[in-house]
Amino acid sequence: TLSDRLTSALQSLRGKGKLTDADIDATAREIRIALLEADVALPVVREFIAQIKQRAKGAEVSGALNPAQQVIKIVNEELIGILGGETRRLTLAKNPPTVIMLAGLQGSGKTTLAGKLAMWLKKQGHAPLLVACDLQRPNAVTQLQVVGERAGVPTFAPEPGNGVGDPVDVARRGIDEAKHAQHDIVIVDTAGRLGVDEELMRQAADIRDAVRPDETLFVVDAMIGQDAVATAEAFRDGVGFSGVVLTKLDGDARGGAALSVRQVTGRPILFASNGEKLEDFDTFHPDRMASRILGMGDLLTLIEQAEQAFDAEQAEKAAAKLGTGQLTLEDFLQQMLAIRKMGPIGNLLGMLPGAGQMKDQLAQVDDTQLDRLQAIIRGMTPAERDDPKIINGSRRQRIALGSGVTVREVNDLVNRFFEARKMMQQMAGRFGFGGGGGSKS
Ligand code: GDP
Ligand code: MG
């Protein structure tokens, strides 16, 4: 993997006080190979590497990092920057309904995404309507109705028995229906072909003109790698799009498509799909994608840690616990309270040992969610906090009832906690926290 190769390449840089041009060139070569292996398109790689070299050559040598770490940090930062920096949100229309149109090749995951997006929006209090404009494939309408049902969202479809029907007409009537039934968001599913073709583009463009979408999302399968660039360009020119959704990230694709599409089209990536279930979906996180493309999340974590000053004593105590996997929900609660006291979450994550790995979990937590999480943990008995494994179904129900949340939220918290604990334990083992004990599980 890149992580291994870079680690050895960078070994030679270790211990040097300053980066020489030769050091940077050698490192750049390795990163170049890694990006190509991750299926990033060649022109994009070239541009990226040139940028890296330039920045690395001008870089000050930092006190906290050795030169090798510094190069990785630069690479990572540049990558995150290209991938979009912060997560970009959906644009909602001032006058509802907001119209979101999905476009992409057949099999890219549009219909599945329609259901995922609908469920995600519904959870946030929206009332979406799905509109079935793929009248090409025999089962496409039924497929959308099925995912709609699963998401608990209605689907507008042409009446059966009326022949094939005109997708543009269905789209238009779908919007009318949404206004009529007071849906604030309309998700328009469209047909896709296996390859880019003109008829498909024209149909998509006609639908676009009929519904005037607030967002047109280009849905692209991360597994198609290099082909993503040509496909994205074709859709950009044929239909145009305001954002990108990357699907099938649960596969082994390293995500080079993300970097290529972003760089070539200049359009932000809004969402990522990572599985067939409706829950397998999230907003796109450039930082996660960057470490996936580089394949060196661990190194990045180490670098973050090296840069962060934290209370050594407290960290040591917590680390000893982490190393043995004994972190409890009570600790979790205490950490959460500490975070709250200290201000904006982003600044503070770094204070927790293993924070780099926890960040994904915690980044999803805002203050009101923190209140709820706190309420849930407070609703547990000390024994449950101490050993969350005992929290079975009936206990979950009791806790949910007592803390005024749904059982689902309790499940989420418990699952997230286990996940975080596992990750921290792995980290602790790998990086030798925990008083030499490592992971003992
Ligand atoms: P469409 O032709 O663009 O509408 O694509 P579909 O939504 O019908 O998806 C095509 C296939 O890919 C289906 O079998 C989906 O279950 C599957 N699929 C969609 N998104 C994902 C994903 O994120 N991960 C995985 N593993 N499968 C996906
Ligand atoms: Mg479809």
Q: For strand 155-156 and strand 128-133, is the pairing parallel, antiparallel, or unpaired?
A: parallel
Q: From ligand 2's centre to the CA of 117, what distance in Å? A: 14
Model confidence over 33-43: pLDDT tens digits? 888 888 888 98
Higher-confidence residue: 426 or 148?
148
Q: Is residue 109 marked as binding?
A: yes
What is the pLDDT, as a whole number, of residue 171? 95
**Ligand 1: which of 187, 220, 276 to mutate, most ligand atoms within 8 Å of CB?**
276
DSSP state of 159: P
Model confidence over 41-60: pLDDT tens digits? 898 999 999 988 888 887 76
Q: Is residue 250 marked as binding?
A: yes
- The ipTM estimated for the assembled molecules is 0.99
Which domains are assigned to the chain? Answer: 2-82 (1.20.120.140), 98-284 (3.40.50.300), 312-431 (1.10.260.30)
What is the pLDDT, as a whole number, of residue 312? 45
What is the pLDDT, as a whole number, of residue 439? 37
**Mean per-residue pLDDT for 212-219?**
97
Confidence category of residue 8, pLDDT binned at 50, 70, 90? low
- Tokens 């094939």 belong to 164
CB under 8 Å to 424, separation ≥6 — which residues?
322, 327, 353, 354, 357, 358
Q: Is residue 179 marked as binding?
A: no
- Tokens 């290209």 belong to 82
Counts for the chain of helices (H) and strands (E), in that order: 20, 8
Nearest ligand to the C-alpha of residue 220? 1
Confidence category of residue 254, pLDDT binned at 50, 70, 90? confident
Closest residue by Cα to residue 169 from 214, 216, 133: 133
Higher-confidence residue: 153 or 434?
153
Ion ligand 2: residues, CB within 5 A, are 110-111, 134
Q: From ligand 1's centre to the CA of 221, what distance in Å? A: 9
CB under 8 Å to 353, separation ≥6 — which residues?
310, 315, 318, 319, 322, 424, 428, 433
Residue closest by Cα to atom 10 of ligand 1: 107
Q: What is the DSSP string of 286-327?
A: HHHHHHHHHT-HHHHHHHHHHH----HHHHHHHHHHHHTT--
Torsion of CA 220, 222, 227, 231, to 10 degrees: 10
Q: Which atom of ligand 1 is nearest to the CA of 112?
A: 7
Residue closest by Cα to atom 28 of ligand 1: 276
Model confidence over 75-123: pLDDT tens digits? 888 888 888 877 788 999 999 999 999 999 999 999 999 999 999 999 9
Q: Which atom of ligand 1 is nearest to the CA of 189?
A: 4
Q: From ligand 1's centre to the CA of 236, what distance in Å? A: 22
Higher-confidence residue: 258 or 302?
258
What is the pLDDT, as a whole number, of residue 205? 96
Nearest ligand to the C-alpha of residue 248? 1
What is the pLDDT, as a whole number, of residue 114? 98
**Mean per-residue pLDDT for 351-365?**
52
Q: Is residue 106 marked as binding?
A: yes
User: What is the model's pTM?
Assistant: 0.68
Model confidence over 257-293: pLDDT tens digits? 888 999 889 999 999 999 999 999 999 989 888 888 8
Percent of the chain with pLDDT over 90: 39
